[in-house]
A = this chain, B = another copy of it.
Amino acid sequence: MAGSLPVSPLAPARFPDLPVIAGVEFSAVAAGVRYPGRTDVMLARLAPGSTVAGVFTRSATRSAPVLDCQAKLAVESAGTTGAAILVNSGNSNAFTGSAGEGSVQAICEAVSAAAGVPQERVFTSSTGVIGERLPHDRITAKVGELVSALAADGIEKAARAIMTTDTFPKGAEATVETSAGPVRIAGIAKGSGMIAPDMATMLVYIFTDAAVPQPVLQSMLSSLTDVTFNAITVDSDTSTSDTLLLAATGQSGAAITEADSADGRAFSEALHGVMLDLAKQVVRDGEGASKFVEVQVTGAVNDGDAKKVAMAIANSPLIKTAIAGEDPNWGRVVMAVGKSGAEADRDRLSIRFGDILVAENGWVAGSYNEAAGATYMKQSELVIGVDLGLGSGSFTAWTCDLTHGYISINADYRS
């Protein structure tokens, strides 16, 4: 399956030029976990002094690697030692009983020995099929090779090694000017199905050369996740393996000690940009996607209600199929507002497709022209705007359409 799909029509033109982050090296290898003839394991090694923050799936059946990362991050670390991140694609090591925990342990031991970092600072992720034993010996056999190949400019190779049904590798970057000089951020992500909100979505690794204490790093990461990875959805299904790790090597010499400072705000804004860019790329590679859709909800009684409406729209199969069919079916938007559970008043609600006012005052807008709506829907990037007219709550979500491609990919992914 993987590799045989055409590249998403919504893909960026090319993988971006990502800056080297001093203190991080990357490598990738073909270990044959599941996919033949391609790289499927990546390693990132972080220099001593790096801090690491993480956000994970809240699934009750989360995978062994997720549970292991959470346990390790629960123990605060000043980052005086180095750290490592190893990720494999092709097998999620989820719902594999105690054998799953054994696999994580074996991989962490091998990485610790070969990369020279303490085992409690080795973080792993696995993505792919659920419920099949991870052949971890194929991975541990390649750990020496991975360590030998580590290179500061290896991040694109790492991005490619973690793909499953992804049709393109995902990267994003930013440079921030702080009072102590420039700080760089580079991140990679994977994901195209089993993508749903309320979780750190799929696998995302972000690196910076800023010096950020772990509690500050964790706090920034958690709050920005709510408006980036927790604001996207492909199919409303939530993975057992979602993992988002952010590592700060400190090697730029620029310290960000407080979130609420000029440098802290500048860094947070740049980090937000990188996270949102990666999150949108995940949507652009949504399984079978042909349209990229931004859902802007305003005028709700509070932000929570705005999110309910945005997600009801973004997850509605009827809206997503209408978009696939280029049908300006705004009645289905009314339906989604109604079912969302948010406070709504038919007569104060307004709906826009891009700049086109479609409905207001409880009915279709007098100025609305169906032909203009139909022309708008032919675009590959769409904005659905809903103003509830009740208050100042707002939320923006991103999603893609639901096409025959999604059915084809998922009706025979595993078999």
Mark A residues whose CB is within 8 Å of B: 57, 59-62, 92, 94-99, 129-132, 193-194, 196, 235-240, 315-318, 321-322, 324-325, 327, 329-332, 334-340, 342-347, 349, 359, 361-364, 374, 402-404, 406-408, 410-415
How far apart are the CA atoms of A406 and B338 in the complex, in Å? 22
How far apart are the CA atoms of A158 and B367 in the complex, in Å? 38
Give the top 6 A-B pairs by smallest Cβ distance, nearest first: A130-B331, A325-B411, A61-B338, A59-B338, A97-B363, A321-B410
Tell me the interface secondary structure of chain A in the complex: loop
Residue from A334, A337, A403 whose CB has the most chain B CB atoms within 10 Å: A334
Given the interface pairs A60-B344, A61-B346, A327-B415, the reply to whether A410 lies near B335 with Cβ below 8 Å is no
Contacts of A412 in B (CB 8 A): 325, 327
- Copies in the assembly, this chain: 2
| Residue from B94, B315, B329, B361 in contact with A331 in the complex, judged by beta carbons closer than 8 Å | B94
Residue from A59, A317, A322, A359 whose CB has the most chain B CB atoms within 10 Å: A317
Q: What are 10 A-B pairs at a CB distance below 8 A? A: A60-B340, A61-B338, A95-B359, A99-B363, A131-B359, A194-B335, A317-B317, A327-B411, A402-B407, A403-B407
Given contacts A193-B318, A238-B339, A317-B402, 18 further A-B contacts (CB under 8 A): A59-B338, A60-B337, A60-B344, A60-B345, A61-B337, A92-B331, A95-B334, A95-B346, A96-B363, A97-B361, A237-B339, A238-B338, A317-B410, A321-B406, A321-B411, A324-B411, A327-B411, A404-B404
Residue from A94, A235, A325 whose CB has the most chain B CB atoms within 10 Å: A325
Contacts of A62 in B (CB 8 A): 338
- CB pair A415–B317 under 8 Å, yes or no, is no
- CB pair A414–B364 under 8 Å, yes or no, is no
| Residue from B193, B240, B404 in contact with A334 in the complex, judged by beta carbons closer than 8 Å | B240
A238 to chain B, nearest CB (A): 4
Contacts of A57 in B (CB 8 A): 338
- CB pair A331–B129 under 8 Å, yes or no, is yes
- CB pair A406–B317 under 8 Å, yes or no, is yes
Given the interface pairs A98-B362, A415-B374, the reply to whether A60 lies near B332 with Cβ below 8 Å is no
Closest to A319 in B: B237
How far apart are the CA atoms of A375 and B369 in the complex, in Å? 52
Contacts of A96 in B (CB 8 A): 362-363
Closest to A199 in B: B339
Closest to A241 in B: B335
How far apart are the CA atoms of A340 and B240 in the complex, in Å? 12
